[in-house]
Structure 1
Amino acid sequence: MDDFFETIGEFSYLGILFLLIALNTAPLLMPPTWIVLSSFYLLDPNLDPIILALIGATGATIGRFILKQITGMFRRFVGKDQKSNLDAIGDYLNKKRYGYTIASFLFAATPLPSNMLFVAYGLMRAKSIGLYIGFWCGRAISYYIMILFSNIALTPFLQMFEERYIGILLADAVGVGVVILFASINWQILITQRKLKFVRPKLWRF
């Protein structure tokens, strides 16, 4: 794994950018971007934390854009009730001037994995440029903070990958569960009547 990081590191920031685009395009089984960035920084302290954070935010945003576009193609398989619910929350956010921007920023400002967020955006067919702006800004801030504290908070990436892969699987499983729960909420009733109700939890029409 050290050889892998060294190989990518030979291409400096450009190599890191393309690696992060690839990682963030995948919907599952990928390590958090902040861990990858922090690992590069620990291996090469000459890297600028600010530039590294901006590169990370850019790579993550491009990768998530691709993921959202791919996920959108699977909307045809989503059940009718779930489509209506996704459209309801999408319309609600569209009516708010900065709905998508604020929602994406608040989520991205945390170290939480964003793969399932963009899977949901893809199923909603969200088209607001604000969701990318908010996500980029939030990730740039959170990545910078995590990079600065990487020498304290980071478990070395190699150790995490070899000994704590269960954590990645668990995080992905929770993410999938959250998307199913999200799609099962009757958003129309929740938004208009402030009542929490669920529709039949059947996400795919098979």
Structure 2
Amino acid sequence: MDIFELFGEFSYFGIFLVLIGVNASPILMPPSWIVLTSFYLLDPTLNIVLLAAVGATGATIGRFFLKKISGLFRKFVGEEQKSNLDIIGDYLNKKKYGYLLASFLFGATPLPSNILFITYGLMRAKSVGIYVGFWFGRTISYIIMIYFGNAVLTPFLEIFEDRLTGILLIDGVGIGLIVLFACINWTVLITQRKIKFVKPKIWRL
């Protein structure tokens, strides 16, 4: 609460800085919607639409940094998984709005987006649509989550009385999904519409 009060004194700019920091970190950070909802519950005079837009902007910038950092670890990825990630990247590049739609659909849900941008980083994805789609998706989802703040946040915190446990659980699921995503044989899935997995050797260590 001290952190919320400290940055809350700077109004939207303080919230913007917090969202950048939260989203630049790959793990051990609460979902952004919880942060924004907490700020709103602390100061109900904040405009929900403006708060959501500011939050989405901070989140998008933070995820941009996360994507860049994740790209540095591509050299540790096994050749088979690296080739596999390139295939899905080429597939999305061929689609006119591939990255935009993928980012929008993911951003429009309350799911932690670190999974998406770590994968984008490993793929070395380059498209403005990544950030445009994510920003619009996050803005919409933030408006909904903030508006229904009490109804959504209170049950969530009751389930995870120990907030660290909840964050670790979410991060664990996220890491598992990244590994699963990297192990799918995308060539077979795209060309034959069949699910096949490659060897689960992710890192060249």
For Structure 1 versus Structure 2, the TM-score category normalised by the shorter chain is over 0.9
User: Aligned-residue CA RMSD in angstroms?
Assistant: 1.6
Shift of 1:196: 1.4
SS at match of 2:26: coil
Shift of 1:157: 9.2
CA distance in 2, matches of 1:101, 1:201: 29
Amino acid at match of 1:79: G
| 1:75 maps onto 2:74 in alignment | yes
Distance 1:10 1:156, change over 3 A: farther
Distance 1:101 1:110, change over 3 A: same
2:186 is matched with which residue?
Answer: 187
SS at match of 1:154: helix
Distance 1:160 1:197, change over 3 A: closer
* Number of aligned residue pairs: 205
Of the structure 1 ranges 111-120 and 161-170, higher mean CA displacement relative to structure 2 is found in 161-170
Amino acid at match of 2:64: F
In the superposition, the TM-score normalised over structure 2's length comes to: 0.96
Amino acid at match of 1:70: I
CA distance in 1, matches of 2:3, 2:172: 27
Shift of 1:155: 2.2
In the superposition, the TM-score normalised over structure 1's length comes to: 0.95
CA distance in 2, matches of 1:6, 1:98: 40
CA distance in 2, matches of 1:158, 1:185: 34
Please tell me whether the aligned partners of residues 35 and 157 of structure 1 are also in contact (alpha carbons under 8 angstroms). no
1:46 is matched with which residue?
Answer: 45
1:44-101 CA-partner distances (Å, limit 9, x unpaired)? 0111101100011001100000000000011011000001110000000000000010
Shift of 1:5: 1.2
CA distance in 1, matches of 2:163, 2:69: 29
Distance 1:16 1:159, change over 3 A: farther
| 1:6 maps onto 2:12 in alignment | no
CA distance in 2, matches of 1:35, 1:52: 13
CA distance in 2, matches of 1:108, 1:79: 28
CA distance in 2, matches of 1:130, 1:110: 17
Please tell me whether the aligned partners of residues 39 and 156 of structure 1 are also in contact (alpha carbons under 8 angstroms). no
- Residue identity over aligned pairs, in percent, reads 68
CA distance in 1, matches of 2:111, 2:71: 22
1:116-164 CA-partner distances (Å, limit 9, x unpaired)? 1100000000101101100000000000011111122212998788623
Please tell me whether the aligned partners of residues 100 and 128 of structure 1 are also in contact (alpha carbons under 8 angstroms). yes
SS at match of 2:197: coil
Amino acid at match of 2:132: I
Amino acid at match of 1:113: P
Amino acid at match of 1:204: W
Q: Which runs of 5+ in 1 are unaligned?
A: none
1:124 is matched with which residue?
Answer: 123
Shift of 1:165: 2.2
2:171 is matched with which residue?
Answer: 172
SS at match of 1:155: helix
SS at match of 2:154: coil
1:109 is matched with which residue?
Answer: 108
